[in-house]
A and B are shown apart, each in its own frame.
Chain A
């Protein structure tokens, strides 16, 4: 259908060229078409295959049935034949075509006989033509053979001609998409002769029908069908050629067919007929079902039949639609105008004379309102029972009593009320009470109750209120008339009321499902996290479909089960294969589809604007989803796909933001390091060049100061480089803290001495407890840490003295360095140990490198201690950095000593 659609839309057709270009990537399908078994399709195919093989073409035989005939078997010699797959089917070993082997072998051309063959139940595809489509998708050319009788649209015709039902059918689209169709022809008389000579192989089941089938008349009719089909195709190819070459030509009419179907069996005949008509006209065709807005299709058989008809139409290449509306004719006409339809095909049911009197038939109604559109009627076949009758017994017997009871009760009330009113006053129009009863019954219990109530009312009114009372006889003739008018009025009013009720019910149902969807979409829009989206979706699916549901998303290239209901669901291997198929091919797979139909689940791709984001699966049950469930499923899948897409995007943008943050941090870091390295270098370079070029013009004090600045800056540079190296060591995890016995007092004294050299004029006070035990550690690292802390205190401590304490606290040795500077805001207390963290520039003085405290922490932790900061330290000023080292081991050491 898509094909024919494409062919007809516009004149110098880019789509036609596109289709041609796409054909380039796919494999080509060549069909050897025959009128009947035995015309020599396989023989023709193999003869050609041999010729190509001799020319060196990579051609292999995927599957050919020789049926023990020597002439065919001889042709196979010298050709590469793929081994067959042995399939155990109900205890019988069947030899089947090995699709995966063929895909793996990937020849240029593969020969696969019997296009119409059905695969055993556990195969990937139920039909061989689906296997072949997969081969073509994989870019392999396929040669195959087909008898005309197996074509779906001709199956009824063939059944009529030959009197044999055709079970194995191939959709017409398969033949329509074939790149080449070769007709293998044999005159019927010759075929019959071959048959009589035993040269035609027939399956056992067909042997019984052989006499009925292989008759000259049948074969001639089939031959005509095959010839005509091939001729049609040649015609199509001519049109294609004209279009691709932009030659103005004879394809002036662009017909479009609209086919109206219902849920009855007859509709399938309508569809087949329309398909033949469409292919004859070379026209695209739309199959439409119009759903009554006020009435749900309650009968599950009807729903199933409708689905089947739709599926058939799709297989035959139609575009299918479901339209909701109250006026059939109106909806059909609207659609026809919108789609520029030129012909309408509709099924006609033979109606009785009375039926025609009261109701205009749909074709008549259409005919009276369309203009310029042809209408084709496809009449019912006699031998098919009208479907309508089947519905009646289906009426719920138990439920049927309820409306009757309600009707009886309301009418009884009306009678009681009427009688009691009559005790007081004589009302002339007491019948209105009964009308009320009918309306109430209709409103609360539907049209069955309304009619029942009307009948009860007539009886009751007659019995209780019409003279002579207490009998069903009527004295006055005008009362008869009044009763008749009442009955009509009651039925009409009742049916109106019940209609309103049913519409209200339908509206309520719809409102509920709309509300459910609305709630779902709100839930989704509120969640940006993928997991939440998946959970919401899977519970919604389960709630709507009443089936187990599963959602699978690709993760690192593999499809993974991300959410399911029940939550502990595990998918079988076959299920996963179907899910992957659905994801890759972006089409439904699994139960109820053409791919892997024997697994428990059906999978459908979740399509977002950016392609398939995942797969949604649900466990199939006996009956397929009904229209409402389909609709809800489609809506949920759309919403879910978009929500997943959004969650992905938001996660990506968060990742990007984090990356950007990291980037910014690195930039800041780099510029701070380069500043720290460059300033001392600039000072040294500047001072040295100044001394060299202008030194003789300076006074000695200035010269000394420049030299001192060189020395200081060199020291600063050295410390910075040493810090960087230490940091690198800590980062690389190569700090090897020794575990010597360390006298803390010694280390403190040495560090203070060193600090005094660097920071002359700074007052440093020390206070060391006399009984301080030895600690286990590395005196060099500890000294470095202390110096770093003093350096820090010097930078941030203003002009106040720095104090160092060392004492024992419970099981720890505590060492602290305290300054009396401005202190550190509470929020920065933890961050000061972070690498390259620096707190502003307190007074224009150069801050440190942002490494000192970070290195200190690294070293302290390497020695098994802890370091922390507190601020304010004393008198609401200053900062105290404390280190704690455990002394448990030292105690042991003391015991040893003692």
Chain B
């Protein structure tokens, strides 16, 4: 198996300077781009398996790079962003980015995100009938949710919400994505629905709803279904 290819689009030379040796050592092939235009070109010509993208680029808005890539490719995109750029981050995720990681970050965290993204890319092609995490298993054909073998009764909306999160296991799903896919396009801003239903769902599936292990909250952004292989 050839090494997965990772495109790093970042204008900070210092960041490139440590990402290249680190990712190489982790077994990936690294391609560098220092601005948006180069990034788009490299994404088109080198067929990367994952794109790591800094949102603050000198020549163009990082969001435009996402839109450009998404126009023709489903390659997983992981965003490097700062904590104070909340709205930018959410916009990027809504535009089709798959995940984000906040600076400063440890290399272990980044490689975990890369692995999730790569695995998911494989899943997308196959698709699982059964999803599971932390003793919870979801049979999407029978629409059956069990925890340690015991049946859990969910309302249709709770079930839809759970499946939506589980299908994106390991990755953050934004509030807006959840709301529009479960409740419909008109409810993209009705955050309170989500708060109520996530609360109910946790009450039913978590071992300790006060310390949720399956559905994690990504403050201000969305929720993340814990990745079975990555805990």
Contacts and interface: CB of A to CB of B under 8 A. Distances in A.
Contacts of B110: 686
Contact of B21 (A670, A674, A689, A706): A706
Nearest to B80: A682
Contacts of A689: 22, 106-108
B12 A846 contact: yes
A678 B12 CA distance: 11
B35 interface: yes
Query: What range describes how many residues of B lie at the interface?
Result: 20 to 34
A684 B104 contact: yes
B22 A690 contact: yes
Given A675-B56, A694-B26, A698-B25, A670 B108 contact: no
Contacts of B14: 679-680, 682-683, 709, 712-713, 846
Interface in B128-178: none
B84 A670 contact: yes
A176 to B, nearest CB: 57
A693 B105 CA distance: 13
A697 B14 CA distance: 21
B208 to A, nearest CB: 30
A77 to B, nearest CB: 71
Query: What range describes how many residues of A lie at the interface?
Result: 20 to 34
Contacts of A846: 12-14
B17 interface: yes
B82 interface: yes
Given A709-B18, A841-B58, A686 B12 contact: no
B21 A690 contact: yes
B104 A844 contact: no
Contacts of A841: 11, 58
B18 A706 contact: yes
Contacts of B34: 844
Contacts of B105: 682, 685-686
Contacts of A680: 14
A697 B26 contact: yes
* Best-buried of B17, B35, B56, B84 by chain A (most CB within 10 Å): B17
A536 B199 CA distance: 67
A483 interface: no
Interface in B71-119: 82, 84-85, 103-108, 110
A671 interface: yes
A488 B108 CA distance: 119
Given A709-B14, A846-B14, A697 B25 contact: yes
Interface string B170-202: 000000000000000000000000000000000
A868 interface: no
B15 interface: yes
Contact of A683 (B18, B58, B84): B18
A104 B143 CA distance: 80
Contacts of A641: none
B15 A683 contact: yes
Interface in A655-691: 670-671, 674-675, 678-687, 689-690
Contacts of A702: 21, 24-25
Contacts of B24: 698, 702
Given A686-B19, A706-B18, A678 B11 contact: no
Nearest to A716: B14
B15 to A, nearest CB: 6
Nearest to A713: B14
Contacts of B104: 678, 681-682, 684-686
A40 B92 CA distance: 89
A845 interface: yes
B21 A844 contact: no
A705 interface: yes
Nearest to B19: A686
A705 B22 CA distance: 11
B12 to A, nearest CB: 5
A671 B34 CA distance: 20
Contacts of A695: 25
Given A674-B82, A709-B14, A844-B35, A682 B25 contact: no
A698 B21 CA distance: 7
A697 B24 CA distance: 9
A671 B108 CA distance: 27
B22 A682 contact: no
B13 A682 contact: no
Nearest to A695: B25
A29 to B, nearest CB: 55
Contact of B107 (A694, A705, A845): A694
Nearest to B14: A683
Contacts of B58: 841, 844
Interface in A73-96: none
Contacts of B12: 679, 682-683, 846
A680 to B, nearest CB: 7
A696 to B, nearest CB: 8
A293 B82 CA distance: 77
Given A684-B104, A689-B107, A694-B107, A705 B17 contact: yes
A550 B58 CA distance: 60
Interface in B1-55: 11-15, 17-19, 21-22, 24-26, 34-35
Task: Give the 4 A-B residue pairs with the shortest CB-CB distance, closest first.
Answer: A690-B22, A702-B21, A689-B106, A685-B104
5 contacts: A682-B104, A683-B12, A695-B25, A697-B25, A706-B21
Given A686-B15, A706-B18, A844-B34, 5 more contacts: A674-B84, A683-B18, A685-B106, A694-B22, A697-B26
